[in-house]
Chain A
Amino acid sequence: MDRTVDWRAIEAQPEFRELQEKRRRFVVPATVFFLGWYCGFVILAGYAEGFMGEEVLVDGLTVGYLLALTQFVMVWGLGWAYLRYCDRVLDPLRERVLARAGEVAEGTATDAAPVRDRVETPR
């Protein structure tokens, strides 16, 4: 289906470039951050047993356990932030790309995915 869509033309759109750019601007730093923070935690658990075993705040609560909890907070925080970023920035931009694409490939449905069957209407 949609054999007539000019993918190359859509990819060349400034809106599409912006969409890719804005996705990267979130995903790349977020991925570097979470992999770094996670690997850092695992490396500390491996090489700094003493530090990770130190107790803080209350009896029996260790630095290691607190740092493990920060991983949970990180996952939920980044997940929530990504959903918000998509809703506010990426989705509106994507709608614009699809609307433009509707002009580029005439007749292609312009609503958000999934795309309706393309109806061949001769103009």
Chain B
Amino acid sequence: MTVLAADINELALSIFAVVLGVTLVITYWASRRTRTATDFYAASRGITGVQNGFAIAGDYMSAASFLGIAGLIFLYGFDGFLYSVGFLVAFLTVLFLLAERMRNAGKFTMADVLTFRLKQRPARSAAALGTLSVAAFYLIAQMVGAGVLIQALVGIDFSLAVLITGTAMLCYVVFGGMIATTWVQIIKAILLMTCTIILSILVVVEVGSPWDLFSKAREESPLGDAYLAPGQFLTSPIDTLSLGIALVLGTAGLPHILMRFFTVPTAKAARSSVVWAMALIGAFYIMTTALGFGARAILGEGGVEAAGSGGNLAAPLLAEELGGGPGTVGGDIFLAVVAAVAFATILAVVAGLVLSASGAVAHDIWSNIIRHDRDSEAEEVWAARVAAVAIGLIAIAIAIVGGEGLNVSFMVGLAFAVAASANFPALLLALTWRRFNTTGAVTGALVGIFSSIILIIVSPNVWPGAASETGSPIGWTLANPGIVSIPLGFIGCWLGTMLSRERTSEERWHELVVRSETGLGAERAVTH
């Protein structure tokens, strides 16, 4: 198939250039509106609920969702769809427990809410560490994924692809801050939804009817009936549950998603933006069925080799086939468009990640911990830009040096595990448990971070052994640590709190409760 050809796909490259051009013009426009820290981190809190819903969808749906889930369904059938369900249900956790409270109690970062009534230096350090670990693992995973995909789809070299992605990402964040990032995410969400809707309709037309999708996919799979049943990819039930829980609670600890709630003017807008995001993300994940089973029904077993490891190229190959097949004009155009959409998808996610990481470095560490909140607004924005450049360059360097050998799903798993085990417990308890204190936050975050990392390092994914066995040095069989590390994170929070004699400021607790419930005293939107 043409997809893996080494020569450069010029059509895809031109569409890339258009995407880059449009987003850079937006960045220029946004840069003239980005002066204060509120502009830079929170888009002046002037994003509407609907806009934020699209931006959350754009921030959240990574290339792993678009290409990865379609690929997993293509290869293993039903199990791929379990990821779709988990990624969506996660937003109920965000809606019920966090969205409005984040908006009411926070300013720029997750740590603002977590440390609201705690001792600033230790608690903020722990929260910033949680933010940075999640953002770093997720960012490197996305950068490597970007390099691999663009290399395969467009034909440019891995390192160059990472460099282009990284440079664009840095331009958005450094010059356009949250305003540019938001609009890149909105555009990406629209492109991704449009592309997925068109492909899904074409799949259904090609297959005959939505109900024939499953039976035709089964006919094309050597797995037979088992293709439509669970257990082909996620073979260990307890591991599946562990993964499911980490997805559903981890999303509520992803700093780049939580940061989006500071961009809207009110808690009401934050709440409605989650429901908008649910509508979009849900519709998208239902359509992953059409992409994945459709790829199986249309490409058949013959497509497996071309789809590459994890089936990541199944969706682009499907598009090429629907456009008329390899070598045809229609096929080339479809393939190029899907490649460009995948590129836009990655850009929107990495920009959001870099922005949240720069908030942790500049707002939490520099401004609050080092400068004790005595720095000027201009200095904080300046620090945030420097931090974004540094984080971006480090991520680019690690992605290029580590190269294609870095295991992407391993790092995404790590990001979700840390988010669910460190960030989520501390954040939830900070908002709901009166007795919770600084020691609890620090112990909980550290236990959550290190238990996730250690359990992943000893997991069978890192130490592959013979089938049905694990090569792990301590005989650990769980690939997903969530079911152990999330309770450990909560226990860490509880134990630290109980062992400390610290009395948190009563007055601040009353303020947090009233403020998060009513929005009284919440940060205001600014108008220029």
Contacts and interface: CB of A to CB of B under 8 A. Distances in A.
Interface in B247-300: 248, 265-268, 271-272, 274-275, 278-279, 282, 285-286, 289
Contacts of B86: 38, 42
Interface stretch (B92-100, B195-203, B323-331, B440-448): B92-100
A114 B525 contact: yes
A60 B519 contact: no
Interface stretch (B64-72, B77-85, B405-413, B494-502): B77-85
Interface of B: 78-79, 81-82, 84-86, 88-89, 91-93, 95-97, 104, 211-218, 225-226, 228-231, 234, 236-238, 240-241, 244-245, 248, 265-268, 271-272, 274-275, 278-279, 282, 285-286, 289, 507, 510-511, 513-515, 517-525
Nearest to B282: A72
6 contacts: A27-B96, A30-B92, A46-B231, A55-B228, A60-B214, A68-B81
**By DSSP majority rule, is chain A's interface helix, strand, loop, or mixed?**
helix
Nearest to A54: B229
Interface of A: 1-2, 5, 7-8, 10-11, 16, 19-20, 23, 27, 30-31, 34-35, 38-39, 41-43, 45-47, 49-50, 52-53, 55, 58-62, 64-65, 68-69, 71-72, 74-76, 78-80, 82-83, 86, 91, 94, 97-98, 101, 108, 112-117
Nearest to A30: B96
A57 to B, nearest CB: 8
Nearest to A58: B211
Given A46-B240, A114-B519, A83 B272 contact: yes
B214 A62 contact: yes
Contacts of A112: 266, 268, 519
A109 B454 CA distance: 50
A113 B81 contact: no
Given A53-B229, A65-B81, A68-B81, A115 B88 contact: no
Given A60-B217, A94-B518, A101-B518, 5 more contacts: A7-B515, A41-B85, A45-B78, A112-B519, A114-B525
B424 to A, nearest CB: 13
B244 A39 contact: yes
Given A8-B507, A114-B523, A97 B518 contact: yes
A65 B92 CA distance: 20
Given A64-B230, A75-B89, A113-B520, A27 B514 contact: no
B513 A11 contact: yes
Given A35-B248, A61-B211, A42 B521 contact: no
Given A68-B85, A114-B523, A115-B522, A20 B229 contact: no
A104 to B, nearest CB: 10
Contacts of A11: 510, 513-514
A2 B92 contact: no
